[in-house]
Structures are given as C-alpha cells and as structure tokens.
Amino acid sequence: MSVSTAVSAQSVCAPLPVLGRDVTVPLVTGGEVTYAALDYAASAPALQRVWDDVAAYAPYYGSVHRGAGYLSQLSTDLFENARRTVAEFLDCRPDDQLVFTRSTTDSLNLLARALPAGCQVFVFETEHHASLLPWQDARVSYLDAPRTPGQAVRALERALAERDPHGPALVCVTGASNVTGELWPVRELAAVAHAHGARIVLDAAQLAPHHPVSVRDLDVDWIAFSGHKLYAPFGSGVLAGRADWLRTAEPYLAGGGASRRVTRREDGGVAVEWHESAARHEAGSPNVIGAYAIAAACKALTEAGFETLVARERHLIAKVREGLAEVPEVRVLSLFGDDAPRVGVLSFVVEGWNSSHFAAALSAEYGIGVRDGLFCAHPLVRTLLGSDPGTQGECGAPEAAPGEKSLNAIRVSFGAGTPDEHVERFVTAVRELVADGAKWSYRTEDGRCVPAV
C-alpha cells in the first residue's frame, strides 16, 4: 500500500473525537443503543479537543478588558488571541475586523444594523431565515430559487444590472444550503456583486465546519458563522470583514466596552465617544469562553487537515446517497441536481409517510437523531416540495400551516465526528421502516410526533 493510499484509507476511517460518542439511549421496543447524532446541521457535538481546552482554561476565567488582576489580564490575552486565531482560520485581510457575536443570526442582524442609508439588499429565497430575514429595514430584493449554480449567477447579474448604480448594495448568500447541503458558487457571485459596485456577505454556518473558508480567496466582504455548528457549542458566533460600515454604524448594543469615553453634557444628558474597533459592537462582558472555544475548534480542524476531513465526509455522503437510492419510496431534495457537490447535509421525503412520523420512528426505534420540518428555510422547502399530495402518517408536521400537513421533510446531517456505523444504521433503519412500517404507534403531542404510551 502506498503512503497516499494509506493516508486516504485512514482519513475514511477516523472520525474526530466528540463528546457524546458513547451516550446510550432507550428504545421503545426495549433495550438501549448508542445514540447516532445525525443532526449536525442544527448543532454539532463539541469536539473533545474543544471541551478539554475550555476545561483547562476554566479555573483561570476572569473579566475581559476590565481588570488589572492576573486572571483578568490572562483572559483578555486569551480573548484577543482567539480573535487572531479565528481571523487566520478565515484568511481575513489585514484591515478586516472580527466581531464576536452570539451566532450567525446575531452576526447578520448586526450587519443589517450597520447598513448605510439607502442600501439595497439582494438575497435568494433559498436562504436560511438567519440570512433571509434581518434586512427588513432595508430595500430588499428577493430572488427566486435557481436550479443551477450558473442560473444563480445570471439571476444576480440581472438583478444588480437593474439597480440604482449610485447607491450602496449588499448581496447575502449561503455557502452551503442547510436543506440540501449543496455548495453555492460564492466566488462567482462575489465577482458579479463587485462588478456592479455591490458588497457581499457569506453565511458560512454550514460551510465552515466542512470546508476551508478563505475570505480572500472567495473575495467576500463579510463572513458570518456560529460556534455551535463548528463543534464549539458555547454561545458565540463571528462576523468578520470590512471595517468601514461597522466602524461608522451605531453600536449594535449600547453599554460598557463599546464606549471609549462618556461625559455629562451641560444640558444634563451624556455625550458618548464610541470605540472604532471591534469593541464598538461587543458591549457588555464578552463571552470569553465562547470565543476561546471557537478558536480551539479552528485549531483542531486546521490540524486535522481539511483535505482529510473533506475526503472522509465525501465517503459518508456516498454511503448515505447510495443507501437512499436503493429505496424507491425515498426522494432526496435538490436544487442543483444529484451530481452537485455538497457537504454532509441531505433532506428527503418518504412516499406514504409524514416526515415527522418517520423522524420520530428513527429516534424511538433506532436511536437515531435527525431533524424534520422546514428547517428555518420555509420558502426553500416549499419550493422543493411543491404541491405534493397529503401523505399518510399518524403525526402532523410541527411547522406546517393549516392545510399543509405533508409540507415537511427529513434532514440527516453529519460531520467530522460521525462514525461509519451511524450512517450505516441510518440507511438500514430507512430501508426497514419503508419495507415493514413502524413497530410502535405514535401520536401528536404539543406539536411533536411522539411514541404513544
């Protein structure tokens, strides 16, 4: 065996250690089984490395930017070093700012607050709600779901060509769909945006945990992602990119840390001089543990090597796709077609089943955790499902509107910590449920499908 073959084989067989890999859960049919966490697109488990790094720091936790004591100074250094580590992970430009936020949603809402007056925003209807909804106070143009990457580029080209060329504009696009897992042509969309004098922000929530992301190579103006999807579930997120709009915007939150100088005015009020650095939008006591956890995850993924991680994930994707293709009743949802490159996220529907019922059976009878519903991407899932007729099932869809009982899907997602056994068990479970039906009865309780007792 050659060295390259040995490395390739090892990359396929070695998931990164994550918390919860040995957790067992009860089955309604009796006994217990090791839990198969296949809902990474919602929240990925913590990497063991991240947990260990946070635990090692925890005794030294102190206030950030606030104290003269040793632990405060140590925590401040750690917080700012984390900022530099994440900026390196994203290959940021030297003059970019990196703001620690609470999540991707928080990051994009921050940017929405920083838009210059008269800014027009262009966003595809295929976006997650985190990148679809924050722009309500701007002039928003919603673009229809494209059916090929090239169609996406051409649609944006037409939309930008018709805009007022003298005003500011922003394009918001995902890097990888949280519904289909398909990769979007970010570099090409960025080129179109810049050719028309617009800027572009990348929602990398589903991309950064699976692929290397370079701000410079993709030529995006901002990037946003969440720690809890990057194996660092400690309540922090990132917005990184051009400093000018952030520097001139009113602080996202008003309070300590964002203010450089506060004085009383003669009229009895207060005058505030705000920071121009990232601190301008980080008012309050920073989440140093959350920032440190993201930095630890960035280091762990970099050291593992994205080439190895991507190769292993493609191996898992192939297992899932091949397994589902053997079940005629299963339809995998896709915008760009079966051959489109994707991350470890797939959504599907099963003929004769309501998706909530199917997901509940996977959990209760097989110990497999997936997600069902509309995945906070309602317009996209409605487009992909179209007007499918009502399906059988004992439970309804928790997010469906009246008259839309069948309008939900099942999502399976995985990543660097997923062992082969989990996806193999999933494929087997799908095959058995379709062939034999559920072994248990289910009912709807508080909007969720649960085993009947």
Inform me whether the pLDDT recorded for 134 exceeds 70: yes
Is the pTM above the cut of 0.85? yes
Rounded to an integer, what distance in angstroms lies between the CA atom of residue 313 and that of residue 15?
9
DSSP 359-410: HHHHHHHH-EE-EEE-TT-HHHHHHHHTTPPP---SS--TTPPTT-TT--EE
Contact between residue 150 and residue 163 where contact means Cβ atoms under 8 Å apart:
no
DSSP per-residue string spanning 67-113: -SSHHHHHHHHHHHHHHHHHHHHTT--TT-EEEEESSHHHHHHHHHH
Largest CA distance in the chain: 81
Q: State what percent of residues in the chain have pLDDT above 90.
A: 83
Measure the CA–CA gap between 151 and 144, rounded to whole angstroms: 10
pLDDT in tens, 272-314: 999 999 989 888 999 999 999 999 999 999 999 999 999 999 9
List, for residues 194-233, the tens digit of each pLDDT value: 999 999 999 999 999 999 999 999 999 999 999 999 999 9
What is the structure's pLDDT at 396? 55
CA separation, residue 49 to residues 18, 76, 102, 105, 291 (Å):
8, 21, 21, 26, 15
Residue 8 has pLDDT above 60, yes or no: no
Task: Identify the residue whose tokens are 């989990």.
Answer: 422
Which among 352, 400, 407 has a CA at the least distance from the CA of 384? 407
Residue 453's pLDDT band, with cuts at 50, 70 and 90, is confident
Catalytic, out of 92, 119, 172, 376: 376
Instruction: For CA atoms 421, 422, 423, 424, give the dihedral sign.
Output: positive
| Cβ neighbour number for residue 28 with a 10 Å cutoff | 18
The three-class DSSP label of residue 235 is coil
- b/e string for 425-439 if b means 16 or more Cβ within 10 A? bbbebbbebbeeebe
- In Å, how far from its chain's centre is CA 29? 34
Residue 1's pLDDT is 33
Which pLDDT value is given to residue 3? 34
CA 87 from centroid of its chain's CA atoms? 18
Helix axes 355-366, 420-436, angle to 10 degrees: 120
Q: Tell me whether residue 13 is one of the annotated catalytic residues.
A: no
CA distance 9 to 363: 31
What is the pLDDT confidence band of residue 12, given thresholds at 50, 70 and 90? low
Mean pLDDT, rounded, for 160-164: 93
What distance in Å separates the CA atoms of residue 252 and residue 418, rounded to the nearest whole number? 37
What's the confidence (pLDDT) of residue 386?
Answer: 84
The CA distance from 293 to 314, in Å, is 26
- Tens of pLDDT, residues 356-413: 999 999 999 999 999 999 999 999 999 999 854 344 455 555 555 544 555 799 999 9
Residue 447 has a pLDDT of 78
Q: How far is CA 314 from CA 149, 204, 317, in A?
A: 20, 19, 5
- pLDDT tier, 4 (very low <50, low <70, confident <90, very high otherwise): very low
Q: Are 345 and 351 in contact (CB under 8 A)?
A: no
